[in-house]
Amino acid sequence: MTTTASRPAPPGHARPGRRRGVGSAVVGVLGELCITAGVLLGLFVVWQLWWTDVQADRVHQQVLSELDWPDPGSGQSDAGPAVAPERRGEPPVLKEPATGEVFAKLYVPRFGDDYVEPIAQGVDKATILDRLGIGHYPGTAMPGDLGNFSTAGHRTTYGKPYHQVADLQEGDPLVVRTAKTWYLYRVTTHEIVYPWDVEVISPIPGLEPGEPVPELTQRLLTMTACHPMYSAAQRYIVHGELDYWAPVSKGVPAELLDAGILTEGVDGGDAGAGVRRGDDGKVA
Amino acid sequence: MYGLLWRALPGPAWLRVLILLVFAAAVVAACFEWVFPWVSEYLPMNDNTVEASTR
């Protein structure tokens, strides 16, 4: 190819197409800025929809593996865990833990046989919900207690523990485990409310805050998640009621065994490497 | 803008490409680690709690 032959521009004279006017230079820079902004926005979407899940799933796994709770009792035989006896008397109830402490796990057969998520105290977005998983509204009942054990979880992004919350049907088991106790709740109702409708987490759902609370007779559970998906315009609420409880030392609830859910030995190795609370100062 | 950056970089083309790739990776990492988490605090689209509207 002949490359050197044609260099017609005389020295000191602007070559057409090489030197641009101020206007086109400004337009060029503006265009590049727009492209940059577009790429950054795209990256933000990637971060929000993908990376927050990757990060949160990793933390949830580590948090669960560090719990170091006893395996469920296996009865006489060594052939795996026994079916836990259903108890309907007064269940043992934990004291409300310190903010950020992971005190329970949630199993939901409807969400799949590998579904297990940690439940931590508090509903602060940055430190609990974006990071540790499901949050427990401070001041609401603890698992098994009279009143309303109320939780919040992401339906999209950050590990999305409540991703399939809208698939739940009446009667579905929601199994909460603390170190020593199973609490088996069953879904009763769901509703879609506005973010300020705090009466859904009242000791008796529907009771306005400030109203006198009558004597409690029901042991309820409430899940709150965003609605519609990828929006915060409303909240998707699921209510459940305690069916029975069982000591972990006696076995595993039949509902989990039937669903093929593994409930022991979540030893992720390398425990103590340190995610619990405050691993990098993000969680107070 | 990017033309200026390209001309300001030293070395042959492959080295400039390498430098720019490293630079881009650093920008993405900084966004993922600090910028986006900070921005997301001001975006309500992931809120999932009910709370009194007075807050």
Give φ, ψ of A28 to 5 degrees: -60, -45
Which among B37, B39, B48 has the least Cβ separation from residue A235? B48
Pairwise CA distance, residues A179 & A67, whole Å: 8
Residues of A labelled as active-site residues: 154, 226, 235
Q: Is the pLDDT of residue A231 over 60?
A: yes
The ipTM estimated for the assembled molecules is 0.88
CB pairs under 8 A between A and B: 79
How far lies B26's CA from each of A15, A34, A115, B2, B22, in Å? 38, 20, 35, 17, 6
* Residues of A engaging B, defined by a Cβ cutoff of 8 Å: 28-29, 32-33, 40, 43-44, 47-48, 51, 123, 125-126, 129-130, 135, 137, 152-158, 162, 193, 195-198, 200-201, 209, 224-226, 230-232, 235, 237
**Three-class SS of chain A:** CCCCCCCCCCCCCCCCCCCCCHHHHHHHHHHHHHHHHHHHHHHHHHHHHHHHHHHHHHHHHHHHHCCCCCCCCCCCCCCCCCECCCECCCCCCCCCCCCCCEEEEEECHHHCCCCCEEEEECCCHHHHHCCCCEEECCCCCCCCCCEEEEEECCCCCCCCCCCCHHHCCCCCEEEEECCCEEEEEEEEEEEEECCCCHHHHCCCCCCCCCCCCCCCCCEEEEEEEEECCCCCCEEEEEEEEEEEEEEHHHCECHHHHHCCCCCCCCCCCCCCCCCCCCCCCCCC
Task: Indicate the pLDDT class of residue A14, thresholds 50, 70 and 90.
Answer: very low
Residue A250 near residue A82 (C-beta atoms within 8 A): yes
Give contacts of B32 with chain A, Cβ < 8 Å. 43, 47, 51
Pairwise CA distance, residues A116 & A109, whole Å: 9
Task: Indicate the pLDDT class of residue A181, thresholds 50, 70 and 90.
Answer: very high
Q: What is the pLDDT of residue A232?
A: 85
Task: Indicate the pLDDT class of residue A267, thresholds 50, 70 and 90.
Answer: very low
Residue A225: which of A193, A254, A262 has the closest Cα?
A193
Stretch A140-168: mean pLDDT: 95
Which among B2, B39, B50 has the least Cβ separation from residue A32? B2
Which among B44, B46, B50 has the least Cβ separation from residue A198? B50
Mean pLDDT over all residues of chain A?
Answer: 86
Which of A284 and A151 is assigned the larger pLDDT?
Answer: A151
Task: Please list, in sequence order, all residues whose beta carbon lies within 8 angstroms of the beta carbon of residue A179, skipping any fewer than 6 positions away.
Answer: A67, A69, A70, A248
Task: Indicate the pLDDT class of residue B48, thresholds 50, 70 and 90.
Answer: confident
Pairwise CA distance, residues A284 & A127, whole Å: 7
Place of tokens 């054990």: A149
Give contacts of B41 with chain A, Cβ < 8 Å. 125-126
Q: Does B53 touch chain A (CB under 8 A)?
A: yes
Q: What is the pTM of this model?
A: 0.82
Which token pair is B48?
A: 């999932």
Residue A274 near residue A252 (C-beta atoms within 8 A): no
A125/B28 touch (CB, cutoff 8 Å), yes or no: no
Query: In this predicted structure, which of A64-78, A166-180, A209-223 has the lowest mean pLDDT?
Result: A64-78
Pairwise CA distance, residues A20 & A14, whole Å: 9
Q: Does B50 touch chain A (CB under 8 A)?
A: yes
Which among A33, A198, A232 has the least Cβ separation from residue B47? A232
Q: What is the pLDDT of residue A265?
A: 56
Nearest residue in chain A measured CA to CA from B53: A196
Give contacts of B48 with chain A, Cβ < 8 Å. 129, 152-155, 162, 224-226, 232, 235
Instruction: Residue count of chain B, please give it.
Output: 55
